[in-house]
Every structure is written in C-alpha cells, then in structure tokens.
Amino acid sequence: MALRLLITPGEPAGIGPDLVISIMQQPDRLPADLELIAVADPLLLQSRSARLARPVTLNHWRPGHGALARSGTLNVLPVNMAQREEPGKLNTANADYVLQTLQTAAQCCLNGQAHAMVTAPVHKGIINDAGTAFSGHTEFLAEFCQSELTVMMLATDGLRVALVTTHLPLKDVAAAITPARLTRIIEILHHDLQIKFNIADPHILVCGLNPHAGEGGHLGREEIDVIEPVLHNLRQRGMRLSGPLPADTLFTPKYLDTADAVLAMYHDQGLPVLKYKGFGRASNITLGLPIIRTSVDHGTALDLAGSGQADDGSLRTAINTACEMVKAQQSRAEVSCK
C-alpha cells in the first residue's frame, strides 16, 4: 500500500518552497511507494520553480486520489496566499495562509486521507506580528488536534532526544517541571516509542535539571523533590527509565548505546548535542498527537530563499522518518490484530 504524506512548505518567503521543489527533482532518493502532496499555493511553487530554474509540473490533488512521486512532478492540494511572495521578505498578509496549510494538512490526516504530515519551517515572529499568538508548530498542532499535551522529539541516526519543556525562557523552566507534567511527558514518550516506532520495551534516559543532577541537593533539589519520585512511580508500572543523570555525561556511548531515547528537561539542554551530531540530517517529531507529524531541524533561512543553495537534507530525513513511523505503526497494528 502506498504511503501518502502531505508536506507544508511553511513560510513562503523562506526556503521551504525551495526544499519541496528540490526534493521532487530526485524522487528516486525517497521510498518507492511514496505519494507526496504539497499543501500550498500553486502560484508560489510555480514562481519559486522558475526562479530556481528547476521546472516542475503541478498536478492538483484531491483527497482519495493516488499520486506516486515522479521526477519533475509535484502534486498540490491548493491553498491560496493573500499576496504574492518575495523571497527573503516577510509579509504579515500571508501569515494566515501559513496556518491554513497546517490546518488543511492536519485535518486530512485526522480524516484518514493521508498517513502523515511533514512541515517545512515557519517564521514564528511574522505570525505573531500578524496578530496570532503562535509559539510553534508543536503547540499549534496540539491545539488543533485537541491533544492535552504533546512532546517535541528530535531524531538523527543513533539518537533521539525528547523535551519536557520547549519554548520557555530559562528562568521559567524549573517551575514548569511539575510531577504531573513530567509523568505525562514520560507516558507519552513511552507510548509513542511503542506505537509509532514499534519498540516493544523502550529504554529512556532521563536528564537531571541541575548541573551534576543536583549534586545530592547541593546544586538544586528538583531531582530529589520532583524527578526521582516520578521515575520511581513509573518504574513501578514497568517502564525502563534511567536517571536522573547529569546531562554532561549522559550523552556518551556508555549510556546511549543501550538507550532508545533521551528525555531532556529543556530545549538547550538536549538539542545542541543532537544538532552537533546530525544537523541537516535530523527530523523534528511531535509525539502525543493522534497523527504522525515530522519536520525539519532548521529555520526559514530567509537569506537563502530563492538562491538554490538551500540543503534539502533535513526535509528528506523528515520525510523518510515519517514513512518509517507509518510503517512501524502499521506493523504493530497488524501484529495486534493477529
């Protein structure tokens, strides 16, 4: 059965449209059974294709119709922009268009018309400037899909890093790590590693919050008062959890070689390591949604838009990751039905 993925090009003035067009120049580097559909304004894709001198033929796609990826052909589910884009120049008039592409793709996945959605980068600032409070794809899709809580996880070859807190000022992180939140985050991570990655008994490494994981309370008590009790309770339920471990030593082969994922307490505790290991070859995955969603590990790169110099490696990784997750979920479902 073909894998049907919807892809949103993100900020129209950024490199997202370039990456989508680039991907379709070499579909042989994607899974052979992939149906890839861009949720975008056809005029945007035509304009950027001409600017890059990479011709593509656009096919208007309707839910329920097959569309295997072919070289130089791009299937499009049309969503119209308010104004024509200019590469590198943000325009608040098109902020709502960006959100509409996300809603359209997510709704198709919820309706079972697509297996997963893949997102190119958006520009948070311009969406907020246009009058819509927006902190990121993860939070937006959680609200749209009515998910009580989602987990951001980035993955590259040999390493998965999930986050307890995401886009928060550092001064607010400790207060946000409550027993209830930490418990639910680990439950979601454990569940989705089983269901969406088909890992029967996942082993999760959990970072401490403070340097040296609090040094027995001398450098902070969050490990003693919050993290350790939560881990103890979840271990009683059969979860394989190691920690809290000092983040400065956790990311070493001694620990990682036996782990399926790392749980970091905040954004810049875990992601610098992952991006050092695999920047340009990593994908951003939203756990806790009723759908599969992956994304790139980089931003809009306005200075590269329309230049032909943007690297499509992360988007290609996000597409391949989504395909692997769909197949893992289908495999697990088939075993459960036997």
Q: What does the block give as tokens for 124? A: 């948070």
Rg over alpha carbons for the chain, rounded to the nearest Å, is: 20
Backbone angles phi, psi at 5, to 5 degrees: -115, 135
The full DSSP string for 201-261 is S-EEEEE-SSGGGGGGGTT-SHIIIIIHHHHHHHHHTT-EEEEEE-HHHHSSHHHHTT-SE
Residue indicated by tokens 């902020």: 95
Instruction: Tell the burial category of 136 from Cβ atoms under 10 Å away from its Cβ (0-12, 13-18, 19+).
Output: middle
Binding site: residue ranges? 137-138, 167, 212, 267, 275, 284, 293
Binding site for substrate: residue ranges? 137-138, 275, 284, 293
Say how far apart CA 76 and CA 38 lie, in whole Å: 5
Beta carbons within 10 angstroms of residue 95's beta carbon: 24
Q: What does the block give as tokens for 66? A: 């097959």
Binding site for a divalent metal cation: residue ranges? 167, 212, 267
Q: What does the block give as tokens for 284? A: 């951003």
Q: What is the DSSP letter of 195?
A: H
